Amino acid sequence: MPRAKDQQRPQWWSRCRVPLRGLMLIAATSLGIALALAGCEHVQGNPAVSLVRVIDASYNAPALNVYLAGTLIATNLGQGQITPYGSFSPTPSAKITVTSAQNTNPLVSTTGSLLASQSSTVLITDINATYQANLLEDQSTPAPSGHSEFRILNQAPSTGPIDVYFLAGTTAADYAAARPVITALAVGATSGYVTIPSATLYMVIVAAGTTLTTTSTSIYVSAALPLVGGEVRTVLVVDPLVTTQPVQVYIAIDAN
């Protein structure tokens, strides 16, 4: 005869009872799954890879292919194209070769170090019809909380050296109080990353030494950039292929 205490339990009770030994087995299995998942997270975050992308800033080059250590990593690139990052094994000396998309004859070759847990950019240029490929070290970690970081690549020979501003607006008052964050960046030069407080800002680019007013000629004024913090960006500035605008600007995401 069932005991009075058992009679008070719902019918599902008997189906759900698990012996102590079974509970111990379930606990051990759950712990093993938790440790396995933790191990998976560790593997996914393994720093022993190097991230590489390509930025094509060329003017005179044909459509391009790019090889890294003999592996084709980008194909049929044209000016202003920016590839996503790809993962590669770290190596102290990786050969980088740029060819026409039509054949494998090298236009330019170079070597660079691919470091573990590091991001890099293969920057292709051909100012004055001299082909160059440089491996730039990118910032792979987000900017500090409440801040954003920008780096400028000035590849606009017709424009000359540039000043770069980040402003809350484009009124006369905004311009009167403006101070450039990057000054006299020469053609072919790459600025370091500059850190600015995050907000909705406008990026304004002018010829170096220009006094910023509402009547001065700006080379470039961006749309509003809603920066919330943590962004790291690389900005490529090139002369336009057609003369309908002063410059063309491309923004690449480095982190966050």
pLDDT given for residue 241 in this prediction? 75
CA–CA gap between residue 112 and residue 96 (Å, rounded): 8
Q: Percentage of residues in the chain with pLDDT exceeding 90? A: 71
Task: Assess whether 212 and 106 both reside in one domain.
Answer: no
Task: Assess whether 114 and 152 both reside in one domain.
Answer: no
Tens digit of each residue's pLDDT (9 = 90 or more) over 185-232 = 999 999 999 999 999 999 999 999 999 998 887 889 999 999 999 999
CA atoms 215, 216, 218, 222: torsion sign = negative
Task: Assess whether 229 and 240 both reside in one domain.
Answer: yes
CA–CA gap between residue 118 and residue 48 (Å, rounded): 9
Q: Percentage of residues in the chain with pLDDT exceeding 70? A: 80
Domain boundary among 138, 169, 189: 138
Is 59 within 8 Å of 127 (Cβ atoms)? Answer: yes
Task: Assess whether 133 and 195 both reside in one domain.
Answer: no
Domain boundary among 138, 170, 203: 138
**Structure-block tokens of residue 225:** 């950039």
Domain boundary among 122, 138, 154: 138
CA–CA gap between residue 159 and residue 88 (Å, rounded): 36
Phi, psi of 187 (to 5 degrees): -65, 130
Q: For residue 8, is pLDDT > 90? A: no
Residues whose CB falls within 8 Å of the CB of residue 206, separated by 6 or more in sequence, listed in order = 162, 163, 165, 212, 216, 217, 218, 219
Task: Assess whether 157 and 58 both reside in one domain.
Answer: no
Considering only CA atoms, which of 124, 121, 120 is closest in space to residue 132?
124
Task: Assess whether 97 and 184 both reside in one domain.
Answer: no
Tens digit of each residue's pLDDT (9 = 90 or more) over 14-67 = 333 444 344 333 333 333 333 233 333 333 445 589 999 999 999 988 999 999
pLDDT given for residue 47 in this prediction? 58
Hey, is 148 helix, strand or coil?
strand
Structural domains of the chain, count = 2
Q: Which is more confidently placed, 46 or 10?
A: 46
Residue 16: inside a domain: no
Task: Assess whether 150 and 103 both reside in one domain.
Answer: no
CA–CA gap between residue 239 and residue 160 (Å, rounded): 10
Task: Assess whether 247 and 164 both reside in one domain.
Answer: yes
Residue 173: inside a domain: yes
CATH of the domain at 64: 2.60.40
Residue 99: inside a domain: yes
Residue 12: inside a domain: no
Residue 8: inside a domain: no
Domain that holds residue 65: 47-138
Task: Assess whether 170 and 256 both reside in one domain.
Answer: yes
Please provide the distance, in angstroms rounded to a whole number, between the alpha carbons at the two ends of the chain.
67
pTM as predicted: 0.79
